[in-house]
Structure 1
Amino acid sequence: MSSPSRFGPRDIAVALAINLVWGLNIVAIKMSVDLVPPFTAALLRQSLVLIVCLPWLRIVPGRMRDLLALSVVIGGAFFAIVNLSLVVTENVGALAIAGQLGAPFSLILAIIFLGERIGIVRVAGMALAMGGCLLLVFDPAAAKEVPGLLLTVLASLMWATGSLLQRRLVGVDIPTMYAWIGLGGTIILAPLALFFEAPVMTGAVLVPPVAFVWIAFSALGSTLIGSGGMAWLLQRHPVTTVIPVTLGAPVIGVVASSIVFGNPLTPVMVLGGTIALAGVAIVTTRSARAREEQA
């Protein structure tokens, strides 16, 4: 049960860590796919997640269909598409903004498949999130990244589908979910990497050691610190309290990519990102409040 207690110094530290690792994750993935082909990088990431979470891998009666679907959608499809999007993209900050479409997509899927009803406020939030992302098309610095943006939109849809599946898996331990995600990703990505990236998979082309550092940061930081920290906060506080303090990740992602890769941070990108983030904040907080009221 979520605790109504206020955020203390330890909670704030955890929230900051979540924002930091999730924000820097896009930089880590970009660095890894610049060193390793995309399917191989995704395979190494998911294999590491599987190894870490292997002690929690177990059959969950009555939940296996959703767990297997989650492993395919998130473990395989999502990370394959994300890595491909970063391979074809130079302006990583634009993808960090476009990735915010996951929240409105999740709400749309909930309306279609769960019959969830929404009010005018969440409709406005969806419109803001999508409108902010659409502004990127009018920014010369981001408009040339259309292939990467389209792949990011598809990845956001995969993420939203995974989010819907996770809602059906309430009560299943997070490490167990990630163990199945790691297993599914490994099984799906291994043949893709072997077929499309055989030189690396067969050892004819060696993987630079530094690539493993970026892949480990992405796998362990995003999974253990990010998802684990989020679960810890949600056990102590209401969802409506936790969600707003973890919305800094895309801002960190945009700023970090601008610094690391020298991507231009234009006024249109700043405006679009601000509008999109405002829409995401409205959608997520109002959706969380609606679930708390139903509980």
Structure 2
Amino acid sequence: MRSRDIGIAVAVTAVWGFNFVVIETGLDHFPPLLFNALRFTLAAFPALLFVGRPQVPWKWIVAVGLILGVTKFSLLFAGMAAGMPAGLSSLVLQSQAVFTMGFAALLLRERPHPVQIGGLVLAAGGVALVATRMGTNLGAFLLLIGAGAAWGLSNVATRKASPPDTLRFMVWVSAVASGPLIVLSLLVDGPSAGLSALRAFDLEALWALTYVALISTLAGFAGWGFLLQRYGAGTVAPFSMLIPFFGMASAAIFLGERVHAIDVAGGVLVVGGILLGLTASRTAGRPAAALVRVGA
């Protein structure tokens, strides 16, 4: 890769890692479902007016919108609101690689390489190691595991869709997700909670919403899509392993989260296991994107 493009890859993963800190900030101002609804509404409009018609069948846009936008991010936001630390969230969410391989084997009949299986067993072990210190926050941890499972399923749907323009695809996915999320927020959070959050809207809330919608979602996926088109998933996907590093480091710096030895050991197992699976994927000639799809 050219040095400029390496810089883009690192910058995008830094944006996605820091995104967990911003989500934590946003959850101080909004209920989880409302925050998620506002995030995807802002990501879709007014961008929808400029990106043109979708380039993939509608069934895949709807599927990814409901699985990724509604389910995955709602579980992620709910888990963090329930007490899951931002830094650990960025790590535990990488369980998506395990679920991606499982769903690919079940739905796409892809037979994983033995080395890939071994790598993902290591990654699963790292996630399990982190779970041992969650204590009373086990429910929040399980919400993050659910988010990882939803992300894995959406990866398979995105793989089937094979969008030629990642940014355009994400704008339409965001548009599909925004409507159901608004309805869910009204039903679950209640109109009064939403109105209270909007009345208390301030610059910090605006910053959090702008970051997760425009910088993380639109700019992040635009940069990542550019790299995937130029170099392919096998070259670009390993950079995604920087996300937990940036997530845990930024949470420690900006939120004062303590990094425990168990977190470090779990992170090494998760990142090492997924990288091992990616290496095996490239050796076997399989698309690395089947293992790792990023963004937060």
* SS of residue paired to 1:291: coil
| Correspondence for 2:252 | 258
Out of 190, 195, 199, which is 1:197 matched to?
Answer: 190
Shift of 1:25: 0.9
* SS of residue paired to 2:162: coil
Out of 160, 181, 187, which is 2:179 matched to?
Answer: 187
Contact 2:103 2:153 (8 Å CA) reproduced: yes
Taking the TM superposition and a 5 Å limit, the aligned residue runs for 1:1-295 are: 7-54=1-48, 55-56=50-51, 58=53, 60=55, 63-139=57-133, 142-195=134-187, 196-202=189-195, 205-289=199-283, 290-291=285-286
Q: Deviations over 1:243-264 (max 9, x none)?
A: 2233211111011112222222
Letter in 2 for 1:272: G
Q: CA RMSD in A?
A: 2.0
* SS of residue paired to 1:144: helix
* SS of residue paired to 2:45: helix
Shift of 1:180: 2.3
Separation in 2 of the partners of 1:107 and 1:123?
9
Q: Which moved more, 1:191-200 or 1:34-43?
A: 191-200
Contact 1:74 1:162 (8 Å CA) reproduced: yes
Separation in 1 of the partners of 2:149 and 2:247?
20
Separation in 2 of the partners of 1:288 and 1:164?
18
Separation in 2 of the partners of 1:193 and 1:239?
35
Separation in 1 of the partners of 2:2 and 2:250?
27
Separation in 2 of the partners of 1:224 and 1:283?
28
* SS of residue paired to 1:145: helix
Separation in 1 of the partners of 2:112 and 2:201?
48
Contact 1:18 1:229 (8 Å CA) reproduced: yes
* SS of residue paired to 1:35: coil
Letter in 2 for 1:131: G
Letter in 2 for 1:56: V
* SS of residue paired to 2:241: coil
* SS of residue paired to 1:118: coil
Contact 2:14 2:243 (8 Å CA) reproduced: yes
Shift of 1:292: 5.2
- Structure 2 length normalisation: TM-score? 0.89
* SS of residue paired to 1:73: helix
Shift of 1:208: 2.7
Separation in 2 of the partners of 1:201 and 1:98?
29
| Correspondence for 1:4 | none
Letter in 2 for 1:232: F
* SS of residue paired to 1:58: coil
Q: Deviations over 1:230-252 (max 9, x none)?
A: 11112221322212233211111
Separation in 2 of the partners of 1:192 and 1:231?
30
Cα distance, 1:144–1:252 mapped onto 2, change above 3 Å: farther
Name the count of aligned residue pairs: 284
- Structure 1 length normalisation: TM-score? 0.89
Separation in 2 of the partners of 1:288 and 1:166?
19
Residue identity (%): 26
Q: Which runs of 5+ in 2 are unaligned?
A: 289-296
Contact 2:54 2:172 (8 Å CA) reproduced: no
Separation in 2 of the partners of 1:224 and 1:47?
12
Shift of 1:184: 1.8
Separation in 2 of the partners of 1:269 and 1:206?
35
Contact 1:125 1:283 (8 Å CA) reproduced: yes
